[in-house]
């Protein structure tokens, strides 16, 4: 069998998997155009490609192999694809341009996540819920930017990003996605939220749900604050869409800091908390839906009651991201005891132990000039005098009062 014919059959297998068909059904369908030997060879080649993504050195994945058949073989080579445009943005960032090695690592880790999403062109209903674990301030936003770009390249029509509980966090995420996903290909994206502190989802929209979600080209991006009123308004807007529109609109929900506010803290079967209930309602509206939580502290997420079917327990996959290149966290800063086979880690020389026989700082020569470091704590609408905490090198911490300046 020629390489060209093998690739044709591999592409056919992927196309069938994106429609939600099992491999046994795909093999039966391919018998109309290929021999059993050709089909078997193409199946093995496709599985090898999928295994390469799953075995990426940048991630550790927990998934039920008996339920898992990857439909995704990797990102598009099209220079106008969202993924390829994103890599160009990253390479030319003014603050910190990404190296080829960093982009390769992001490619591997994000492809692993995308491979576990629901096939966007599936002909059967499919709801996938997963969780991505990353180190604190380690680039989780970059990872879900890459996941979004690859997901919309494959046919996802709606991307909902739940971006924290505060306006500033929502704004930061909106601005980041605007720069990396929207601007490089603005004609392909409808945004219902704005790069503005007051740019959250509004009750009155310039476009109807049927029009925004029912288009054949492009996708719709919504970046929401985890606020009950905002999520209620978004659900009300979605309720205007017809069943046919929602059926043809595969949706991806990215829940940033998913352990915050999203988790139900009431009795799950009785009265879920408001934000949790609104998120569940968003998910239940779409026949093809993928919910992916991102967090550095996953304890609340994995302790969600798995027996409650429509809750946010990550039933389908867990992906643990490796430390990114150049990452400096608590272990690198303070070290680590030898509690693992990897051994101890010394840490950076940022802590100096002062022997007991050293003179206390309070007894230093009073004639020496003072050096003070001040942290001014200010609050809006604060009627009391501003409190200053001054670090006196000779005398330690002192608290003084004064008027704000």
Q: What is the pLDDT of residue 247?
A: 94
Residue 119, phi then psi, degrees to nearest 5: -60, 120
pLDDT along the chain (405 residues), means of 10: 85 80 85 89 82 60 65 87 96 90 91 92 88 85 95 96 92 96 94 92 90 89 94 95 95 90 65 84 95 86 74 86 79 70 69 71 56 48 45 42 44
In this structure, what token pair is assigned to residue 268?
A: 């799950």
Q: What is the pLDDT of residue 273?
A: 85
Q: Domain residue spans in the chain?
A: 3-52, 56-330, 361-402
Q: What is the pLDDT of residue 95?
A: 82
In this structure, what token pair is assigned to residue 107?
A: 């490619």
Assigned CATH class of 56-330: alpha beta
Q: What is the pLDDT of residue 13?
A: 84
Q: What is the pLDDT of residue 341?
A: 57
d(CA 14, CA 46): 8
Does pTM surpass 0.85? no
Q: What is the pLDDT of residue 382?
A: 46
Q: What is the pLDDT of residue 386?
A: 44
Taking each continuous run of H as one helix and of E as one strand, the counts in the chain are: 13, 11
List residues bridging with 292 in a β-sheet.
130, 254
Residue 265, phi then psi, degrees to nearest 5: -110, 5
Q: Are 271 and 239 in contact (CB under 8 A)?
A: no
Q: Are 139 and 294 in contact (CB under 8 A)?
A: no
Q: Which long-range contacts (CB under 8 A, 24 or more apart) does 396-403 make?
A: 396/361, 396/362
Q: What is the pLDDT of residue 379?
A: 45
Q: What is the pLDDT of residue 370?
A: 56
Neighbours of 54 (CB within 10 A): 16
Q: What is the pLDDT of residue 308?
A: 75
């Amino acid at each position: 069998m020629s390489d060209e014919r093998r690739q044709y059959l591999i592409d056919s297998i992927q196309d069938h998997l994106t429609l939600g068909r099992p491999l046994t059904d795909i093999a039966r369908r391919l018998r109309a155009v290929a021999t059993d030997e050709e089909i078997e060879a193409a199946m093995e080649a496709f599985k090898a490609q999928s295994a390469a993504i799953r075995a990426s050195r940048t991630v550790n994945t927990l998934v039920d192999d008996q339920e898992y058949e990857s439909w995704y073989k990797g990102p598009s080579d099209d220079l106008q694809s969202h993924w390829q445009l994103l890599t160009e943005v990253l390479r030319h960032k003014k603050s910190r341009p990404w190296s080829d090695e960093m982009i390769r690592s992001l490619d591997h880790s994000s492809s692993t996540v995308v491979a576990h999403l629901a096939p966007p062109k599936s002909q059967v209903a499919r709801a996938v819920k997963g969780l991505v674990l990353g180190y604190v301030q380690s680039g989780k936003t970059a990872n879900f930017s890459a996941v979004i770009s690859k997901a919309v390249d494959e046919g996802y029509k709606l991307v909902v990003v739940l971006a924290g509980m505060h306006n500033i966090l929502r704004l930061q995420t909106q601005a980041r996605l605007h720069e990396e996903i929207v601007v490089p290909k603005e004609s392909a994206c409808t945004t219902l939220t704005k790069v503005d502190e007051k740019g959250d989802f509004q009750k009155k929209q310039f476009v109807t749900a049927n029009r925004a979600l029912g288009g054949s080209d492009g996708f719709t991006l919504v970046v929401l604050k985890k606020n009950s009123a905002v999520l209620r308004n978004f659900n009300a807007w979605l309720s205007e869409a017809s069943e046919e529109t929602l059926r043809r609109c595969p949706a991806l929900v990215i829940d940033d800091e998913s352990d915050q506010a999203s988790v139900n803290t009431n009795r799950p079967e009785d009265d879920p908390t408001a934000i949790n209930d609104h998120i569940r309602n968003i998910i239940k509206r779409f026949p093809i839906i993928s919910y992916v939580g991102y967090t550095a502290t996953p304890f609340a997420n994995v302790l969600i009651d798995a027996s409650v079917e429509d809750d946010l327990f990550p039933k389908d996959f867990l992906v643990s991201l490796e430390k990114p290149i150049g990452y400096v966290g608590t272990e690198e800063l303070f070290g680590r005891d030898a509690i693992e086979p990897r051994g101890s880690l010394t840490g950076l020389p940022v802590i100096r132990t002062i022997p007991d026989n050293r003179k206390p700082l309070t007894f230093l020569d009073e004639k020496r000039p003072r050096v003070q470091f001040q942290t001014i704590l200010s609050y809006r609408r604060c009627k009391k005098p501003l409190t200053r905490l001054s670090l006196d090198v000779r005398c330690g911490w002192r608290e003084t009062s004064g008027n704000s300046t």
